[in-house]
Structure 1
Amino acid sequence: MSKKKPLSHGQLRRMRANHEKRLSRGKLDNQAPELQDSSLGQEEPAVVISRFGQHADVEISSGEIIRCNIRRTIQSLVTGDKVIIRQALEDGSAIGGVVEAVHPRTSSLTRPDLYDGVKIIAANIDQILIVSSVVPAFTTQIIDRYLVASEDTGISPVIILNKIDLMNDEDRADIEAALGRYRSLGYPVYEVSSKSKAGIDTVKALLNDKISVFVGQSGVGKSSMINALLPDAELLTGEVSEGSGLGQHTTTTARLLHLPSGGDLIDSPGVREFALWHLPPDRVSWCFTEFRDYLGTCKFRDCKHLDDPGCSLREALEAGKIHQDRFNNYHRIIASLDEQRHARHFRHNEE
């Protein structure tokens, strides 16, 4: 048997830090007041507004928000979950009840995590609003990654271009052409400005009677747009650095917000881009909707859809039925799968 390689000082520091975090979480959990069954009322429905470790803020039918303990038997609980709770019969405690059970989800928004595998961000969502913007630089690569994630989860995507007040004539033609391609594929596309409020009323109507979530790179104006839709949300907004053109993460905990014009909005932590390493290549192919008619018709079963002879996707590209930009973005995603899996394997081995 080969001798184990000694751990580096950096690895030892990370192991000790992770161990201390686990101990701290355990202490906090032990400090949480335990509510006995005899001190709890009848079961009633509620919805999870936000999740904090072993506690959740839930909203009951009266509109009151109650902080609850979570039963240890509940394996997963996220913002948007519909639950059954029992309230504490006596007032005076910071903990007002217990989440007893979770209803089956109609949908769940997930993203892969380097440590936890596939992580659920929010549940019972009707539509994903993919926010892009003129600044930072408009890119279809990120939009296509979110579209793949949307198609994979089965949640309807809507593309929103923000900051149209900053669009110049030089960029306008390319951006409008890209948005036109998405419209031709059947994806709803809207152009807005959270600063000038242009198009905001259209987005309000779009959100009515639905549970929606905004996703997009940092700096595209998700929080600013939410503030325009719901001024009382008092979300922090981050200015895009003029020097680097990069944004800053502005939100930290997913929470459900009620819109005065109707509908609910789940504000989730900023994500620079959705990693997709958990998806097999054939699933990514299927998530490009215009590819579906050609999948399984290539000459060779293991076709990589590059320069392979008899490739149906390549033939469709050359015939103008698939656009070059989407074809390129597809291959960028496929190329990134192994890199992301390798990064995850490396990080686990470091620990």
Structure 2
Amino acid sequence: MTLARSRHDYDEDDVRVRPGRRGSRPRTRRRPAHESAAAGFVTAVDRGRYRCLVDGHQVTAMRARELGRKGVVVGDRVALVGDISGEPDALARIVRVEPRRSALRRTADDTDPFERIVVANADRLVIVTALADPEPRPRMIDRCLVAAHDAGMAPLLCLTKADLAAPGDLLAVYAPLEVPSTVTRRGEDPAELRKLLAGQVSVLVGHSGVGKSTLVNALVPEASRAVSQVNAVTGRGRHTSSSAIALELPDGGWIIDTPGVRSFGLAHVPPDGLVAAFPELAEGAVHCPPNCDHLQPDCALDNWVAQGHASPGRLDSLRRLLAGRDEDPAG
């Protein structure tokens, strides 16, 4: 009589032995499922430690070995086991990263094959640009718009320091893209921005000194983010935010403040990914010659626009974004 095999019985197919290493213990293929793991939201990352919101309180955690090389970033939804009390000496383990619904990526430059995830699961990318001190850099804005489309995030253009310069000219440049925008002034409450961010997870991106930390302090007064001045000659300032951090908004939702960036590489975004962000042009792109970069005279999009299928402004905007990939990532 053959006995039914218990789920705890093993044979040689259930184990793996690492070759070339004497004394290596067989490892089972089965891994803990951690069905009872607590759900958490990563709010900060600092030198291998992760701050996670679990049931309304902050928990410090480390990555479990079974995660392998899978990274954990601010905005991730994770599963935790161990001590989730939140006490000063408590340390939990992140055993699982839940599937991401969005991921903002960038590379060091346009030739870097290694992309990095900046934040996960954000709904909106807030592109923060000063109108003066430092001067606005449209190419940087274009690159952030590309990244937002690639990540499946809704872009929002936030122009700061309108008390130093008028926003009209810069807004006109981006009017064909139909990107939502808001304008703020130093010393004034950003009420319109607060309303646009309510109930969403939004990430703020921009050069150092454009006013991100000032906005964060106005939106979340208890945040107390450091603020510094930018050199009037070079337009550069030190990174007052050294790492990304998620902060809960009083009216609901989250904002993720990120360190100031000097470049935003787009090596991970193919040209077709840009065209897909313009549906009325993507249909006409099927008539282009093979490997068309949409910047040459034989591009079919010129005729497509001439026939009235899309506006010239939208084509100009697409080509500005495409051309921006080959320019200085610092904008």
TM-score range, shorter chain: 0.7 to 0.9
Query: How do residues 106-117 of structure 1 correspond to structure 2 at under 5 angstroms?
Result: 106-113=101-108, 117=114
In the alignment, the residues of structure 1 paired with residue 95 and residue 322 of structure 2 have an alpha-carbon distance, to the nearest angstrom, of 45
Q: Following superposition of structure 1 onto structure 2, how do residues 21-40 of structure 1 map, counting pairs within 5 Å?
A: none
Q: TM-score by structure 2 length?
A: 0.77
Which residue of the partner structure matches residue 126 of structure 1? 123
Per-residue CA deviation, residues 187-221 of structure 1 (Å, 9 max, x unaligned), is 2111112x2225x1111111111111001122211
Q: Distance in 1 between matches of 2:137 and 2:201?
A: 26
**How many residue pairs are counted as aligned between the two chains?**
290
Q: 1:272 aligns with which of 262, 271, 290?
A: 262
Structure with more of its chain in helix, by fraction: 1
Residue in structure 2 matched with residue 196 of structure 1 by the alignment: 187
- Which position in structure 1 is the counterpart of 2:4? none
2:54 paired residue number: 60
In structure 2, C-alpha distance between the alignment counterparts of 1:308 and 1:162, rounded to whole Å: 38
The more displaced of 318-327 and 280-289 is 318-327
Cα-to-partner distance string for 1:238-284 (whole Å, 9 max, x where unaligned) = 21212223333221111111112221111122222321012223323
| Distance of aligned partners of 1:96 and 1:327 in 2 relative to their CA distance in 1, 3 Å threshold | closer
* 1:69 pairs with 2:62: yes
Whether the 8 Å CA contact 2:113–2:267 is kept in 1: the answer is no
Quote the offset at 1:128 in angstroms: 0.8
2:97 match: 102
Cα 1:285–1:253 change in 2 (3 A) is same
Q: What SS does the aligned partner of 2:285 have? A: coil
SS in structure 2 of the partner of residue 125 of structure 1: coil
1:333 Cα shift? 2.3
- Let me know the Cα RMSD of the aligned residues: 3.1
Distance 2:48 2:239 in 1: 24
- 145, 164, 178: which is aligned to 2:162? 164
The residue identity in structure 1 corresponding to 2:82 is: Q
| Alpha-carbon distance between aligned partners in 2 of 1:118 and 1:322, rounded to the nearest angstrom | 31
2: CA distance, partners of 1:111 / 1:66: 28
Q: Which residue of the other structure, out of 307, 321, 324, is the alignment partner of 1:330?
A: 321
Asked if structure 2 preserves the Cα contact closer than 8 Å seen for 1:148 and 1:288, the reply is: no
CA distance in 2, matches of 1:173, 1:78: 36
Tell me the distance in 2 between the aligned counterparts of 1:255 and 1:91: 18
Shift of 1:331: 4.4
Match of 1:301 in 2: 290
- Alpha-carbon offset, residue 113 of structure 1: 4.0
Residue correspondence of structure 1 range 81-96 to structure 2 within 5 A = 81-88=76-83, 94-96=89-91
CA-CA distance at 1:59 after TM superposition: 1.4
Match of 2:224? 234
Contact 2:53 2:59 (C-alpha < 8 Å) held by counterparts: yes
Report if the CA contact (8 A) 2:63-2:95 is conserved: yes
State the one-letter code of the partner of 1:197.
E
Give the Cα separation in 2 of the matches to 1:85 and 1:142: 37
Structure 2 residue runs without a partner (length 5+): 1-31
Q: Is the 8 A contact 1:71 1:99 kept in 2?
A: yes
Identity of aligned residues (%): 29
Q: Given residue 261 of structure 1, which amino acid in structure 2 is its aligned partner?
A: D
Indicate how the Cα distance of structure 1 residues 176 and 148 shifts in structure 2: closer, same or farther if over 3 A, else same.
closer
Is residue 283 of structure 1 aligned with residue 273 of structure 2? yes
**Once the 2 structures are TM-superposed, how far is the Cα of residue 226 of structure 1 from its aligned partner?**
0.7
CA distance in 2, matches of 1:161, 1:238: 18
Match of 2:312 in 1: 321
Tell me how far apart the structure 2 counterparts of residues 77 and 269 of structure 1 sit (CA, whole Å). Answer: 17
1:150 paired residue among 118, 140, 148: 148
1:56-86 deviations in Å (ceiling 9; x for gaps): 111111x221211210122121111111212
Q: Does residue 221 in structure 1 map to residue 211 in structure 2?
A: yes
